[in-house]
Amino acid sequence: MITGFLWKGVVRDRGRSIMPFIVVTIGVFVVVFLDGFMGGMLSNMIDMTARFDAGHLKVVTKAFEENDMEKNNDLAILEADALFDQLRTHYPQVSWSPRIYFGGLLDIPDADGETLAQGPVAGTAYDLLTNQVESERLHLANSLVTGRLIGSGKEALVSVDFAERFEVSPGDTLTFFGSTMYGSMSFTNLTVVGIVRFGNAALDRGAIIVDISYARQFLDMENATTEIFGFLPDDLYKQEEAEAIKRDFNTRFPAWEEDEYAPYMLQLADQSGMGDMLAYMKSITFIMVVMLVFALSIVLWNTGILGGIRRYNEFGIRLAMGEPQGHIYRTMLLESLMIGAAGSVMGTILGLLLALYLRKYGLDYGSMMDNISMLIDPVIRAEITPRMFWVGFIPGVISILIGTALAGMAVYRRKTAELFRELS
């Protein structure tokens, strides 16, 4: 019965409700939006890192894993076809894909075939001709600035930075100089068929992409591969699932314990500091929520004190009428629960709306990324998750309850013996 009575007071007395409502709304809005935005940023990092650097799962030799910064092809996996069969048999839900990294010099000839320029290049070979999924996963079609995608073995895509630096265009033939898996010299001619821009400095700086079947020929890596990437269903990374597959593989194929050239499985969180990054992002959200509760509680405590001064006579008359102090205190908490719930709903809606907007249109900060090597898309899009429906709501309600609980203690300090004097 008293709830309806209190609700009328909350709705009608804007001086009582509007300030706490606005404070809670803003706080919850910030948390919900930042949760969606940071979640989107994290997903973006996971996605880019998975696609280009780590996979959700990755099989390498133990020796390669221990020297993974060097990307030495002499530590590559041999008998790769047999290993593929095993992986597809035991983990059919995972999309497996081989990759080879290579480095060397590209020689750019002039019209007469003489060397015009030379530049270092970092190459990656993907399974582009037999596995359409790999091309889609790399968003190659969308990244193409000019030209076309690779259609046969001796063709290559070069990054836009490299193309601009050495004035390379589609149709040009380049000569690659490098070394084979066994250390002997390797060279081959490649025809540039397209120029790509991934929008990420780490990928766009001096990169060349070829099909893996031809890379195996000129790098002397028949039935070998540097790494085998695994992607979970729908290309969605699930840390627990990836960890379970990794553990199973490393238990099922324990040869790596004694043979450094035996395959060994990693998951995304094990690589490139991603585990720390994931833990860090989770901590950030937790810290953000704790800070919100703390800051809002302080503000709402103050608001509650001001409200208590405004309603000094009201509480006095209620005490005189025989309402126990504990009951007045509980009604204050109930009122704050109503205001907190309303503010939290509003803040959640506003946070979701802005996150939805940023999911659709994204925030392009590519110009700030020119010199940053992180694997992250320059257009960050917020992510909408079920968590956003409560991540701000609960702290919003809790903070106003704490603020009111602290401010409301003043009711217990009120002396009934003073009421006649105070209310006259």
Partner 1 sequence: MAPQSIISLTDLVKTFPVGNGEFTALNRVNLTIDVGEFTGLVGPSGSGKTTLLNIIGSLDCPTQGEAHVLGKSVSTLTAREAAELRNNHIGFIFQSYNLLPVYTVFENVEFALLLQGIPTAKRRTMVMEALEWVGLTDKEKSKPSQLSGGESQRVAIARAMVKKPAIVLADEPSANLDAANSHHILQTMVKLNEQLKTTFIFATHDEKVMQYLRRIIHLQDGAIVRDETIGEG
Told to check if 241 binds partner 1 by CB under 8 A, we report: no
- Candidate list 324, 330, 357, 364; residue touching partner 1; CB under 8 A: 324
Tokens of 259: 């043979």
Torsion sign (Cα): 413, 415, 421, 424: positive
Q: Which is nearer to partner 1, 5 or 240 (CB)?
A: 5
Shortest Cβ distance from residue 405 to partner 1 (Å)? 20
Task: Say if CB 51 and CB 59 are below 8 A apart.
Answer: no
Distance CA 153, CA 211 (A): 6
Where does this chain touch partner 1 (CB under 8 A) — which range of 153-161, 215-223, 261-269, 319-327? 319-327
Shortest Cβ distance from residue 420 to partner 1 (Å)? 5
Q: Which of 56, 370, 399 is nearest to 202 (CA)?
A: 370
Q: Residue 225 in 3-state DSSP?
A: strand
Q: Which residues contact 312 (CB under 8 A, 6 or more apart)?
A: 422
What string marks each residue from 402 to 421 as x (binds partner 1 by CB under 8 A) or -? Answer: --------------xx-xxx
Told to check if 325 binds partner 1 by CB under 8 A, we report: yes
Q: Which residues contact 171 (CB under 8 A, 6 or more apart)?
A: 191, 192, 193
Which residue type is seen at 394?
Answer: I
Shortest Cβ distance from residue 418 to partner 1 (Å)? 9
CA distances from 16 to 9, 13, 283, 371, 404 (A): 8, 5, 35, 52, 12
- Candidate list 319, 350, 391, 400; residue touching partner 1; CB under 8 A: 319
Site for partner 1 in 12-31 (CB under 8 A): 12-13, 16
Q: Which is nearer to partner 1, 113 or 322 (CB)?
A: 322
Q: Which is nearer to partner 1, 6 or 105 (CB)?
A: 6
Torsion sign (Cα): 263, 268, 269, 274: positive
Shortest Cβ distance from residue 311 to partner 1 (Å)? 9
Task: Say if CB 186 and CB 147 are below 8 A apart.
Answer: no
What string marks each residue from 297 to 316 as x (binds partner 1 by CB under 8 A) or -? Answer: ----------------xx-x
Site for partner 1 in 247-286 (CB under 8 A): none
Distance CA 280, CA 117 (A): 44
Task: Give residues in contact with partner 1 (CB under 8 A).
Answer: 1-2, 5, 8-9, 12-13, 16, 313-314, 316-325, 327, 416-417, 419-421, 423-424
